[in-house]
Structure 1
């Protein structure tokens, strides 16, 4: 064992000699070697000590060997027990040290490959398998593999192997396998580029991840690792977003931890980071396309911390503005951060780009719940790091009432005092006195003298007093109406149903009774009602549904114990349906009296049709009619190709159960646009029939999905449309390599009329109900389609690009406010670029 220690340490020294003779070692590798040698040296010293003490106890054992009996109270027995425990420890340390020796040998071999083998051999499967085996058997390598001098591609493959246990192969993609046709191919050459890790702490802000995550990937042309740290989110929507977004970005790393605050989440992300540079990003903010490329291109030193400027935006990203300059023009020195923070100087953490090396000695203070950035910047400058300003606005900072960093005035004042005390501890006595004087002056002037500060103090005093009992909330539905619905459901026709009405439910208690009552007024037709509750947070919904359980064989109530989304709920309900046809009804909408009887008349006339749909009437939250939505008013060609534009085969939908099941139902990945995805699948080979009658009342209100279409739904819409457009419109689909080549030529050599087609606001007119015929024509010819938004576009074209970016291959944009509004809606996060070459200018240069 002792010789094993010595030989392993010699191997470490050999490794240093080999590495230094072949190429210069980075600080990271030197640190790694020191970390590898340290535990083996400590364990060797422990072993030698144990070896000496073992000899002493061995003599004692020999003296006790002749004893005929053992008395538990005897000191000799105690001595023997000590010897036994020592021997047990020796065996444990022996096994532990053997494991350490194997770790060192694996690390040695991994380093040695980089030193002696060229990069192309490293990429071969045989060598990669050896690396995987080394990682698998090595505890140290699993933790610090990113410090090995390997290529970015090899590090990525090792990371995938650790996460999945399978050897990665093929190109790196950011969309799941069944959507590979929609995955944008990176055209930039990433060879020898540094790698980037973006750390996104998230606490109950899952809805914003559909903007922040794509912006992170689009911020750099090299290899990007994105880490989301879920800081103990309690909101079900956030947990659902986290589980869904990773399906669209398979390489995304999601870390779940107990709630510990923003600093704790950032530190946890740093523990798992493998990039050469670190970019922090709050979940509700976004980065500009090529943000990191811009900063690195202007860097004066590899050790500099690069700082860009930022814009602020409102909650919905519909308004953007530049605050009074808080970075540009202010010297980024220690004195400025001490004396001018919040008094003219403010640097959001995501404006910075940090070399990973600095985090070996510096981290975020987890005792602070606010002002942690101030302490962090000050600590960096006090440690001798230099901040370099890059004059470009590359970050969007969202301002809203539920921002992750927004606190009460009382809390902010308390955190200011705590942060000031921690900063003062870093300073010399002379610096400290002046700093505390200015800090206390700002505390009194801005925080404690603010009227909101005193109001909050009064509220806290009031909260300590015993509160009055709450009066019971008024129930929206009278007992008579509930009983009327129960009675009508009890008298349901119990014959074998022709149509099963599926009602997925999540809350909306105020509209549910009207919905259910409408189902009971469908005339002389045997129907089945299936209500499936997706774990509603409003418990009144469950109480109401329990009243309907078991009162009629044609009424089924399903109560799920977790929220699974509308696609899963709808599919599960259809599985249990007895009817030959399925009618889909949202729980906040309702049917016209006799609607299903009317549809049944068409079913008898057209038994071969797979999918029937009608017109609808849109109403507001109070039931007031807003307008009629008629397919006949927008019909352009066949239903199939009209569906490619948008969801025209909407409510009321009645679908053959056999067709629904044969296609696998609704795709859970497409929840939110699941009805459109289902209609497109049926239109592929099935038959759709339009019934020109208004048989459905569709409610538009604050909480309805359709009134404020989520960013994620725009993205899903464009991915889905591009998939079917390639299948239905393109006769000859470009191979990946050919597509990649055309994109690269368009960006680097300029645009030509043969392979590309450029659209601008001048030659692409937008109407209230836009039909993308010119785009579809160019798409069918497999051209590279470009939209030139440079110089700015108005809101109508921004909305157009949100809806129809699926037809574009490149969007040229030089305005951060425009790219920020689009980034989460794109079928590919690499779609937007500001880098291109004008063909005319290139010819002049030649």
Structure 2
């Protein structure tokens, strides 16, 4: 049976990739419809593009913001499947959910919906709470919906799989902004009572987010009152005491919830913590009409090096950055191209306008915020140098940086990509450490830079790349903004030549709290996808497996097996052997790209959604010796 999964999306884009990926691992051939309900968050287009790139079965419908019910109804109108699955953009399905529920509906043709169990998780899905059961103790009929809803019974909409016929005359109520699931279930069971079956397995994970309890309590109380008034005319004839019992619950529970939320909390809830193997073609040809030229440099000679400075805010550090690019005593031909990505901080323009007197500097400003990848790509097209040297606007170079780079270029004309060591400094520019070869404690130069890049972005600051090589590779991929430089280095490592310059000429500013846990997990997912993609293209798996085992898995063999399976080709299998603690879960999230197949419990497989690179997954029993 063909299933359509409807995913309303409004401002939870950082989780959208995981939601879509979980559908693709659901064990069924699916049509996935993302309903963009007028999302206004900054990177909405990028989030949608990344999710849509996972599979050709994903389509996107754009609409004006109308709320959750409106988005779901729009999805129903666009769906072609015989079965309908709803999934909020920040939640995930457990692998195999759709396949199991489809089978139940096939064997029970009189049933109009199948319902499974669910679990709660923190917003990173690192801690999953399987305690409690709000579905199985209750009969799934109209009486339970009327008198047990929120009084023990709760059925998140993504637990259900529905026959399309259900929606011939039932839709989600678009007049409410809460309790829409309760209204839906009441309408459904008033028409199809005793036609919903339960399948006792964990099929979905509901992600919980931190919110102000007082605000949440007030919203819930108002939504309950509105929803009960909508439901009452439908079911009061069969259950005359519905409205009375509903009002009594409203008075008893929500008044107490409001009072409790005004008092200090006694104890805080723990808040810890295939797929399309082809990406959309990257287009490095930027419409340069979207950039205003503030100044065009008057440097006459053809520069050997263009220093590329992408700018977004950081006005307080931009002066030091630009001052570090003054090499007045050098005979090396160079220019500076600065591209401001429409910084909202007005001080940035003040700094840039004060720099218009320099003959070597060109300054451009985007008409909108396009992101780091497109900004660097635009700068590369404005540049005239044979080589591009990338300097972030809050960082700065050492006085001898240009001479060291120019000397390396003179000695190695055939090299496409040079990179140096760096010095990490704090926000005030005070020394923290020298970061050699990318700064990873576990990576040392092996003599094979392409291999080393698999384990981390060793070819970082200062990176100097031939301009024609950069443009031929289509520059940075906006789909990987955040790890775009690593993506570029990995792609170039397939053909280009690299050279490591063991001198710390780049000062990298570390900002307090600059990398949140959410950003870190997002980068972890992207880096894993990058590894997996390059492994598929270049490396012999046996060699990679040996390197992985020595470099990463030593000391953890009791947690999992690495199994080499020889068939028509060499395959590497990861087999889980016990419950994985959080440290090993995060390890697996980042490095599962080294494996062709993952043999995991359903829970761990679900926690990896959004972090996978398209590998096969085999679900194993959760019972360990």
The alpha-carbon distance between structure 1 residues 538 and 781, as it changes in their structure 2 partners (threshold 3 A), is farther
C-alpha displacement of 1:304 = 3.6
Correspondence for 1:512:
318
Higher mean C-alpha deviation, range 257-266 or range 392-401: 392-401
The alpha-carbon distance between structure 1 residues 767 and 835, as it changes in their structure 2 partners (threshold 3 A), is closer
Q: Alignment RMSD, CA only? A: 3.7
Indicate conservation of the 8 Å contact 1:200/1:228, yes or no.
yes
Indicate conservation of the 8 Å contact 1:790/1:812, yes or no.
no
Correspondence for 2:582:
795
C-alpha displacement of 1:714 = 4.5
Correspondence for 1:832:
617
Alpha-carbon separation, structure 2, partners of 1:762 and 1:581:
37
More strand by share: 2
**Cα-to-partner distance string for 1:532-570 (whole Å, 9 max, x where unaligned):** 12233444434443443x422321122112333322221
Alpha-carbon separation, structure 1, partners of 2:315 and 2:606:
36
Alpha-carbon separation, structure 2, partners of 1:590 and 1:328:
61
Indicate conservation of the 8 Å contact 1:522/1:597, yes or no.
no
Alpha-carbon separation, structure 2, partners of 1:207 and 1:410:
27
The alpha-carbon distance between structure 1 residues 699 and 311, as it changes in their structure 2 partners (threshold 3 A), is farther
TM-score relative to the length of structure 1: 0.62
Correspondence for 2:171:
363
**Cα-to-partner distance string for 1:127-156 (whole Å, 9 max, x where unaligned):** xxxxxxxxxxxxxxxxxxxxxxxxxxxxxx
Q: Is the aligned partner of 1:617 residue 2:404?
A: no
Match of 2:207 among 392, 398, 402: 398
Aligned length in residues: 577
Correspondence for 2:452:
642
Indicate conservation of the 8 Å contact 2:12/2:89, yes or no.
yes
Gaps of 5+ in 2: 264-294
Match of 2:3 among 185, 196, 200: 196
Match of 1:215 among 6, 16, 22: 22
Correspondence for 2:382:
576
Higher mean C-alpha deviation, range 258-267 or range 563-572: 563-572
What's the secondary structure of 2:57's corresponding residue? coil
C-alpha displacement of 1:396 = 0.9
Residues 545-624 of structure 1 correspond to what in structure 2 (within 5 A)? 545-548=352-355, 550-621=356-427, 623=429
**Cα-to-partner distance string for 1:567-591 (whole Å, 9 max, x where unaligned):** 2221221122122221111223332
Match of 1:296 among 102, 106, 109: 102
Alpha-carbon separation, structure 2, partners of 1:628 and 1:295:
56
Alpha-carbon separation, structure 1, partners of 2:184 and 2:344:
40
C-alpha displacement of 1:798 = 2.6
The alpha-carbon distance between structure 1 residues 267 and 490, as it changes in their structure 2 partners (threshold 3 A), is closer
Correspondence for 1:311:
119
Residues 743-754 of structure 1 correspond to what in structure 2 (within 5 A)? none
Alpha-carbon separation, structure 1, partners of 2:517 and 2:134:
37
C-alpha displacement of 1:648 = 1.3
Q: Is the aligned partner of 1:237 residue 2:43?
A: yes
Alpha-carbon separation, structure 1, partners of 2:314 and 2:515:
12
> Computing the radius of gyration over CA atoms, which structure comes out larger, 1 or 2?
1
More helix by share: 1
TM-score relative to the length of structure 2: 0.83
Residues 708-723 of structure 1 correspond to what in structure 2 (within 5 A)? 709=519, 713-723=523-533
Alpha-carbon separation, structure 2, partners of 1:813 and 1:307:
24
Alpha-carbon separation, structure 2, partners of 1:547 and 1:641:
44
Residues 349-498 of structure 1 correspond to what in structure 2 (within 5 A)? 349-385=157-193, 386-401=195-210, 408-429=216-237, 431-432=239-240, 434-451=241-258, 497-498=303-304
The alpha-carbon distance between structure 1 residues 806 and 377, as it changes in their structure 2 partners (threshold 3 A), is same
Match of 2:592 among 783, 790, 805: 805
Larger relative contact order, structure 1 or 2 (CA cutoff 8 Å, min sep 6)? 2
Correspondence for 2:337:
530
Alpha-carbon separation, structure 1, partners of 2:245 and 2:453:
65
Correspondence for 1:343:
151
The alpha-carbon distance between structure 1 residues 819 and 628, as it changes in their structure 2 partners (threshold 3 A), is farther
The alpha-carbon distance between structure 1 residues 337 and 406, as it changes in their structure 2 partners (threshold 3 A), is farther
Q: Is the aligned partner of 1:696 residue 2:506?
A: yes
Higher mean C-alpha deviation, range 496-505 or range 200-209: 496-505
Correspondence for 2:87:
281
What's the secondary structure of 1:500's corresponding residue? strand
C-alpha displacement of 1:622 = 5.4
Alpha-carbon separation, structure 1, partners of 2:416 and 2:564:
29
What's the secondary structure of 2:493's corresponding residue? helix
Correspondence for 1:157:
none
Alpha-carbon separation, structure 1, partners of 2:536 and 2:67:
46
**Cα-to-partner distance string for 1:614-655 (whole Å, 9 max, x where unaligned):** 112334555554443212961224112222333211111112
The alpha-carbon distance between structure 1 residues 426 and 708, as it changes in their structure 2 partners (threshold 3 A), is closer
Gaps of 5+ in 1: 1-193, 457-488, 732-754, 837-846
C-alpha displacement of 1:424 = 0.7
